[in-house]
DNA sequence: TGTCAATTGTCAGCGGCTGACACTAGCCTC
DNA sequence: GAGGCTAGTGTCAGCCGCTGACAATTGACA
């Protein structure tokens, strides 16, 4: 059973996030001040900063929900699965249940719109990429453990994860600049691109 | 022949950069204010912002010197070279002449120290990654042109470049956290890691 | 040398963010 | 259920990055 205090806090937290995302996706990130967000929730600016370390954190909070689930998903993949396959399955599986997770806070449509705001706002894109890097480091450790390797000694876990991350980034970008914003489109793109990585590295591009 | 005005401007520009890098590498990025930099060059804060769009730009200016040369190097690689090979050769070739380019502005040692500051300062690392992404996009277009492909239609150029970029990032990180900061160490790491990417993706890690 | 244009300094001000301190409101004990 | 305790909030002052506007200075060029 939750205490009243905790429920109140959670409500303010959610309200701030909703207000922030709403404003970011309509007015734009740069043109939204922290005061705007705080005012929308009828809270002091200082309080906003007690819930989120900064404007950036609020803007990336939704992504964070998805990302943490992804890491957990990889951890729970069967140990006999090959590294790249485990990563792939974890993402695809993640898309499936994305709806419920997001919808608990904001409409999925808002999440997708926010995603595009991140991709198109330099400072947010930068923060997003940095976060991805942290995730990749965590994933490398997970893979290394699965395979019984030492991350510091064997570069293969980090290399594999970096490649996977690279492909995902290309996929996301392609998806976010395309016309079909459905999850199904994302899924298809992911599978297709992952299949093409190997060939793209070794094969001669002109003979195909 | 350069005019006096232009020479003066260039001098201020260089002085600002030198002062900035000097301060960043000793005092740290966050703990250095723009006023500190401006004062060190005996110039108003406003003037600093006329030369550099922000603190960040000054911090990444040295990297920018290297990066632009890399793009140019790829462009001038023989057309018959395979894509990945062209990228690899361009980087390795770039390291060779790095000394002269950097030394024209600051001691190479300072450049290397600044590199570590970037890697260890969250906001700088983020900006750095974002810049890398822009470079990758440019590189993808170069590769596509070399091979006579349409970047928008064929994902292979972007995929190859993303993979290459991923490997380079892992390499850089490994290098910057290691003990040997020589260019030779970087070179060796790059070659070794590039060789291991293919196998890391397909082979079974446990049977080796 | 005097005019014109480029460069710089000064000033005022916004927005993100933080520390300090007082106040309010939920919690827990007696 | 009254009291004290503490977590959460608002207010205020202030730093820092950054920008626009305007005045002052300094090189360029006829």
**Is any atom of nucleic acid chain C found less than 7 Å from the CB of residue B44?**
yes
**Rounded Cα–Cα distance for residues B159 and A167 (Å):** 6
B206 touches strand C (CB under 7 A): no
Strand D neighbours among B 100-159, CB < 7 A: none
Nearest to B173 by CA among A201, A9, A158, A69: A158
CB A29 within 8 A of CB A97: no
- Domains by residue range for chain B, with CATH: 1-52 (1.10.10.60), 54-202 (1.10.357.10)
pLDDT class for B177, splitting at 50, 70, 90? confident
Could B159 and A196 be called an inter-chain contact, meaning their C-beta atoms sit closer than 8 Å?
yes
Q: Looking at residue B140, what is its pLDDT?
A: 97
CB of B177 lies under 7 Å from some atom of strand C? no
Q: Which of A84, A201, A208 to mutate to test the interface with B (most CBs of B within 10 A)?
A: A201
Give the residue carrying structure tokens 């292979």: B156
In this predicted structure, the answer to whether residue B78 has a pLDDT above a threshold of 80 is: yes
Give the mean pLDDT of A138-147: 95
Residue B56: CB less than 7 A from any atom in strand D: yes
Question: What would you report as the CA-atom Rg of chain B, rounded to the nearest whole angstrom?
Answer: 19
Residues of A in contact with B167 (CB under 8 A): 159, 162-163
Query: Is the pLDDT assigned to residue A208 strictly greater than 60?
Result: no
Contacting A with CB below 8 Å, chain B residues are 82-84, 122, 125-127, 129-130, 133, 147-149, 155-156, 158-160, 162-163, 165-167, 169-170, 174, 192-193, 196-202, 204-206
A82 phi-psi bin (left φ>0, alpha ψ -120 to 50, beta other): beta
Give A194→chain B minimum CA distance, Å.
9
Sort out which chain B residues have CB atoms less than 8 A from A149's CB and list them: 205
Instruction: Tell me the pLDDT tens digit for each residue of A75-94.
Output: 999 988 999 999 999 999 99
Residue A102 has pLDDT above 90, yes or no: yes
Instruction: Residue A130: list chain B partners with CB under 8 A.
Output: 122, 125-126, 129
Residues B16, A36: Cα–Cα separation, whole Å: 36
CA distance B14 to A128: 32
Phi, psi of A127 (to 5 degrees): -60, -40
Across all residues in chain A, what is the average pLDDT?
94
- Whether the Cβ atoms of residue A110 and residue A22 lie closer than 8 Å to each other: yes
Q: What percent of chain B has pLDDT over 70?
A: 99
d(CA B87, CA B163): 11
Long-range contacts (CB closer than 8 Å, 24 or more residues apart) made by A55-60: A55/A20, A55/A29, A56/A123, A56/A124, A56/A127, A58/A16, A58/A17, A58/A20, A58/A21, A59/A20, A59/A21, A59/A24, A59/A29, A59/A114, A59/A117, A59/A118, A59/A121, A59/A124, A59/A127, A60/A118, A60/A124, A60/A127, A60/A128, A60/A131
Whether the beta carbon of A2 falls within 7 A of nucleic chain C: the reply is: no
**Contact status, residue B143 vs residue B157, Cβ threshold 8 Å:** yes
What pLDDT is attached to residue A187?
93
Per-residue pLDDT tens for B25-45? 999 999 999 999 999 999 999
């Amino acid at each position: 059973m939750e205490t009243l205090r905790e429920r109140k806090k959670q409500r303010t937290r959610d309200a701030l996030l909703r207000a922030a995302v709403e404003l970011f996706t309509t007015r734009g990130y740069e043109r939204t001040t922290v005061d705007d967000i705080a005012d929308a929730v009828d809270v002091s600016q200082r309080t906003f900063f007690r819930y989120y370390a900064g404007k950036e954190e609020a803007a990336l909070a939704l992504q964070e929900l998805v990302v943490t689930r992804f890491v957990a998903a990889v951890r729970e993949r069967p140990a006999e699965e090959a590294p790249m396959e485990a990563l792939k399955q974890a993402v695809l599986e993640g898309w499936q249940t994305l709806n419920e997770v997001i919808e608990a806070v904001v409409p999925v449509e808002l999440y997708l719109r926010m995603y595009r705001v991140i991709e198109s706002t330099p400072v947010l894109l930068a923060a997003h990429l940095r976060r991805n890097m942290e995730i990749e480091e965590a994933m490398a450790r997970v893979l290394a453990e699965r395979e019984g390797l030492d991350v510091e000694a064997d570069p293969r876990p980090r290399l594999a994860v970096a490649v996977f991350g690279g492909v995902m980034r290309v996929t996301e970008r392609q998806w976010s600049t395309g016309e079909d914003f459905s999850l199904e489109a994302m899924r298809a793109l992911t599978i297709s691109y992952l299949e093409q990585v190997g060939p793209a590295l070794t094969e001669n591009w002109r003979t195909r």
